[in-house]
Structure formats: C-alpha cells, structure tokens
Structure 1
C-alpha cells in the first residue's frame, strides 16, 4: 500500500542475500497506521519467501512513534467504530510481530531513533537490536490511557525481566541509549551514520547460518510465534477494553491539542 501520491509507506530492497525493510513515513515519525502495517506485512511475506537474514529500520529521525493518535481520533465518532479500528490496528501489529518471529533467518532491528508505544514490538521481535545514540524508548501507555501492546508484556519481560518491564510502564520513564544497552534491551550502540552498515554487516555474516536452527532456538526459548500468539491476543483484548473509555479519549485529545508557547518552552 502507498500514500503521499504513490510514495510507499514501506520500502523493501534486496542486498545480496539480505532483505532490508524500511518504514518510510518520516513526516509522521513512522507512526503506525493500517496502511503502513499492511505494507510491512507484504514486505515480510516477500522476504520470508526469499529467505536469508532481514534488517528492519526506519527513515527519518524516528524508528516508529507507536500508533498514530490522529488515526484513533479519526475513528472516535462512536465506541464501536473506535474499537473496530483499534482492533484492526493492534491485530495487524501482532501479525507483523509473529511474522518477524517466523522469519527463516536472523532478524536485526536497526533502531535509528526514538521508539514509543507498541512500535517497540517491531524491535522486540528481532534476534538482535542495534540502536544509535539518538535512540530512546518511552511507553506512553499510562499517559495515553492505553493498555500495553506490541509485546510490552508478551516479549519485553523476557529481555529485561518482568519487574523492570512493569516498573518501566508504571513510571513512563524515557530511557536513552546507554541505559537501554545496560538493561539488555539493546545489543549494540552505533553512530547514526554507521547503524545501517553495521546491521547489514551482521546480517551478511549470518547468511550461512541454518534457518532451521534459528527457528528451533526461538521455539525452545518460548519466543516463537506459537508461544507468542496467545499473549499478544491478550494484549489486544486489554487494549480494546481501555481505548474506548472516556478518559482515554480525553487523554488523546489533550495529547494532540496545540501547545501554548509556555508549554512548548517547558517541554
């Protein structure tokens, strides 16, 4: 699917035996909307057929800033309409996460900038997470009134521990590159210019690896698609329960309201 007069929302190119998939909605921070996720799913399906390692990154200054709040508000005319939109969006995100865990090759997330909300799942689903010194991660769930999605409860605790994951959501802390590396969320910090070359170099080195062993390792570790699907669906159901609340709508509207000059200076 495309937008912006035919400009693709996701780009997929083949470099040797490696698939490079790029989220390409930089004017909205690569925020998640149904069209982007559909394009991403199509790119992942093609990459799976081609086989080999996969690198996932974003264009512009952000990797991805979570679900586009404007999209939720555009469908907030009734609880039923909003619930249907949210269900489709989170369901599509879950299918992408599962596709990444099923990919027959090493998956590397090259996180080129900020990540918020459910978009973290695109990195959590990777075997390796490379970041830059401009990368930060922030939940935003308690700010927006959303239940955690994108693997914040289904995948993140396996990387950093359940107490640290739930405590992060409870404080809505913004964690920067050094801390992300320290707690084990990131595997490596690169310069912005060196991020994609480093990810591609790691991917090329993984070309000879047996994909059957990679898939078996995910299964034995409890992070393959079969183990994750029920946990991701539980996240989706909780998200739908919370997104239609009046207080969540109020929080979304306040978040998107124009800031006063004083608020801009204070932020």
Structure 2
C-alpha cells in the first residue's frame, strides 16, 4: 500500500472492524489495487481475536459498480488478458476470504451494486440496504461474461430461472425485490441505516464469538465452499476468454459513451 492512496480504509472500534471502499470518484469500481487493499485487511482481521464483527461499507453514491470498464477499455490489447486474470482472480479470492471469516460480516448498501461487486454482498452474512439501492448485472450489454458469483452463487440463492432472467434482460433488482429474494436482510431508510447496523452489532456483541463462528462454519461446509470456489474459477476462465473478443471492445466503448452522455 506504500506510495499510493489506500483504496479501502479500515477502522477498528469496540470490537468492530469497518472496511470502507474509498474510490468514490469511480463509484468504488473494482481495480486490482482496491482488491489488494481489501484482501490485506481481511487477512489481518481473520487472525485478530479482538474483532468480533465486520462491516463492509463504501463512500459516495454507489456501493460498487463492479469492474472498472474504463480500466478494462484502456488496457493495451496485449495486456488485457493478464489484467482480466489478475482482477477476477483477486475478486474471487476476496469473495472466499469474506466467506471464510469467522466473524459475522455486515454489508452496508448505501447505493447501487452492479457487476462483480455483487460477490461482496453475496459473501456477507447480513445486508442492510437503503430503498434506493439496486443490483444490476450489465454483462450482456457490455459483452463481458458474468463474474462475482452471478452464475456460481446467485442461482443457488434465487433460482436458475430468476438468475437467467435478470442477466439476460439486464434488469435492475431494487432493494425491495432483493429483500424478497433473500439477497438483502432488511431495507432501511437512509437516515436509519447506521442505527440499524448498530442494533445488529449490539445483538452480535452479546453472543459468544466461537458460537457464531461455529454457526458460520456449519452453514459453509466444505462441499459448499468447494462448489463456490469451482464455480468462481469457471467464471474467471470464461471472463478471460470473453474479454479479448473484438465485439467486447466495441461493447465497452458503447457503454462508456452512454455513461458520458448521461
């Protein structure tokens, strides 16, 4: 992290580690450096008995808009394959690291969650979202293959047909629907978001840490984790194979033009 701005900040207070995505000028979109920072903090938390719960939060209007399309587009053709391998590989490691934490993880969604950043939400134990938050894929419109658990984890949560419909129609899933689908624990007014998370943390703080860890472990048996890891690796391979296709370069350019136009 030396020599550059830290893209994920960590603060520990009262037994709670708060990890804040801090690339708000780019809607906290994912780049390798951000995931490096997040993985580093997760490694420190895992072995710290003082941390009893983790809150994953973000600055700005968006929780995270997934992989930075501009960063992909600006890669030289010869570097794109390696960049995609690096980014999606680190995203997969981050998702699994979040799932592996013995401490409960709360995701704080103050805004949209798109693309591969859904994996950070799928890895959380509890999710609080404001009413204006939504989840959306954007893969088909850009030309990317899905990553971040959109095919490896989401179908198990919401059903294959629902996952197919959302991705092929590039449909926005609003906070209320995400709650109905079980992807969000509770939809909370923006002015109550932090208070609600504090209430959850108070409940968690009254529990026995090893008991919570045992519950998490039994809910993530070896066979399920192995299935998730294999599915995420299959996503990585498919993403890398797809991203270098000529039509994807055009899809990225059109996506960026639409965003620039407003």
Normalising by structure 1, we get a TM-score of: 0.90
Q: Quote the residue 1:40 is aligned against.
A: 38
Q: Does 1:87 pair with 2:117?
A: no
Aligned-pair CA distance for 1:98 = 0.5
Moved over 3 A (4+): 220-224
Q: Quote the residue 2:54 is aligned against.
A: 54
User: Could you tell me how far apart the structure 2 residues matched to 1:259 and 1:148 are?
Assistant: 20
Q: Does 1:138 pair with 2:139?
A: no
Conserved in 2, the CA contact under 8 Å of 1:18 and 1:200? no
User: Could you tell me how far apart the structure 2 residues matched to 1:41 and 1:215 are?
Assistant: 20
User: Could you tell me how far apart the structure 1 residues matched to 2:176 and 2:197 are?
Assistant: 18
Q: Answer with 158-167 or 242-251: which moved more.
A: 158-167
User: Could you tell me how far apart the structure 1 residues matched to 2:105 and 2:168 are?
Assistant: 30
Conserved in 2, the CA contact under 8 Å of 1:106 and 1:214? no
- Aligned-residue Cα RMSD (Å) equals 1.9
Secondary structure in structure 2 of the residue aligned to 1:194: helix
Q: Answer with 207-216 or 143-152: which moved more.
A: 207-216
Q: Does 1:162 pair with 2:160?
A: yes
Secondary structure in structure 2 of the residue aligned to 1:31: coil
Conserved in 2, the CA contact under 8 Å of 1:53 and 1:204? no
Number of aligned residue pairs: give it. 257
Q: Does 1:213 pair with 2:208?
A: no
Q: How does 1:19-38 map to 2 (within 5 A)?
A: 19-38=17-36
User: Could you tell me how far apart the structure 2 residues matched to 1:25 and 1:236 are?
Assistant: 23
Runs of at least 5 residues in structure 1 that lack an aligned partner in the other structure: none
Aligned-pair CA distance for 1:10 = 0.6
Conserved in 2, the CA contact under 8 Å of 1:105 and 1:214? no
User: Could you tell me how far apart the structure 2 residues matched to 1:204 and 1:48 are?
Assistant: 20
Q: How does 1:97-112 map to 2 (within 5 A)?
A: 97-112=95-110
Q: Quote the residue 2:194 is aligned against.
A: 196
Secondary structure in structure 2 of the residue aligned to 1:147: coil
Conserved in 2, the CA contact under 8 Å of 1:106 and 1:203? no
User: Could you tell me how far apart the structure 1 residues matched to 2:95 and 2:194 are?
Assistant: 21
Aligned-pair CA distance for 1:140 = 0.1
Aligned-pair CA distance for 1:70 = 1.3
Aligned-pair CA distance for 1:109 = 0.9
Normalising by structure 2, we get a TM-score of: 0.91
Conserved in 2, the CA contact under 8 Å of 1:83 and 1:243? yes
Aligned-pair CA distance for 1:259 = 6.6
User: Could you tell me how far apart the structure 2 residues matched to 1:202 and 1:60 are?
Assistant: 23
Q: Does 1:74 pair with 2:74?
A: yes
Q: Answer with 244-253 or 195-204: which moved more.
A: 195-204
